[in-house]
Chain A
Amino acid sequence: DAGVTQSPTHLIKTRGQQVTLRCSPKSGHDTVSWYQQALGQGPQFIFQYYEEEERQRGNFPDRFSGHQFPNYSSELNVNALLLGDSALYLCASSRRGVLQPQHFGDGTRLSIL
């Protein structure tokens, strides 16, 4: 039973570029959430997708966008990258419901030069 898988594991970009991160949820899960975790901080909620639509959004600018596919996998896109976007990006999947336990992937470490 595969858990949450994310790709790539590491990525280096320069300011102004665009990036796409990918996530496959745990088997049986239909809801995907994305988080940004800066060093020494807790994960910060970016948004959540269910039934291919963004359902909830945290306090992140429109440069952060996402998508969910019919097979429940998801992408996180970040445009016009800033130095401050350097962080670990975590994907978490869960069953639909009010705040179900979330299963996290290993994350994508994004570095902006």
Chain B
Amino acid sequence: GQQVMQIPQYQHVQEGEDFTTYCNSSTTLSNIQWYKQRPGGHPVFLIQLVKSGEVKKQKRLTFQFGEAKKNSSLHITATQTTDVGTYFCAGAESYIPTFGRGTSLIVHP
């Protein structure tokens, strides 16, 4: 079945440093979504990518979808303490979304 791998599992950064999490699928995806889950909270939708090679930006966040539609990345520039949380990618081969294990971002002030 479809597998979505996400690395790294944890990332510690100093406030102001950059952060990147990577998502890789075993199969070609229809689209990919990114979510953020704060400690003790629920996943919150960030963005959806559909087209091959697509790049989208949200303020300090940059999202990319690979040319082969099998990988994606989220990059945060100049992290802030408010960026703390676990970032999940969710890819779909058919109509069933598969979430990665997530990357937990810890920002040290």
Query: Which residues of A are in contact with B by a Cβ distance under 8 Å?
Result: 33, 35, 40-45, 48, 55-56, 58-59, 90, 92, 98-99, 101-107
Which residues of B in the span 36-70 have a Cβ within 8 Å of any Cβ on A? 41-45, 48
Query: Which residues of B are in contact with A by a Cβ distance under 8 Å?
Result: 1, 6, 30-31, 33, 35, 41-45, 48, 88, 90, 92, 95-102
**Majority secondary structure, B binding face:** strand
Let me know if B96 and A56 touch, CB within 8 A: yes
**Majority secondary structure, A binding face:** loop
On chain A, the residues within 8 Å of B90 by CB distance are 42-43
B94, chain A: closest CB distance, angstroms: 8
A43-B88, A44-B99 given; A106·B41 CB < 8 A: yes
Q: Whose C-beta in chain B lies nearest to the C-beta of A106? A: B42
Partner of A43, one of B6, B30, B95, B99: B99
Let me know if A99 and B97 touch, CB within 8 A: yes
B81, chain A: closest CB distance, angstroms: 22
Number of A-B pairs whose CB atoms are under 8 Å?
Answer: 56
Let me know if A101 and B33 touch, CB within 8 A: yes
A42-B100, A45-B96, A45-B98 given; A99·B42 CB < 8 A: no
On chain A, the residues within 8 Å of B43 by CB distance are 43, 90, 92, 102, 104
CA distance A102 to B95 in the complex (A): 13
Let me know if B97 and A42 touch, CB within 8 A: no
Can you identify 7 A-B contacts, CB atoms within 8 angstroms?
A41-B101, A42-B6, A45-B97, A48-B95, A58-B96, A90-B42, A99-B48
Q: Whose C-beta in chain A lies nearest to the C-beta of B91? A: A99
Instruction: Indicate the member of A33, A48, A102, A106 with the most B CB atoms within 10 Å.
Output: A102
A23, chain B: closest CB distance, angstroms: 12
Q: Whose C-beta in chain B lies nearest to the C-beta of A4? A: B42
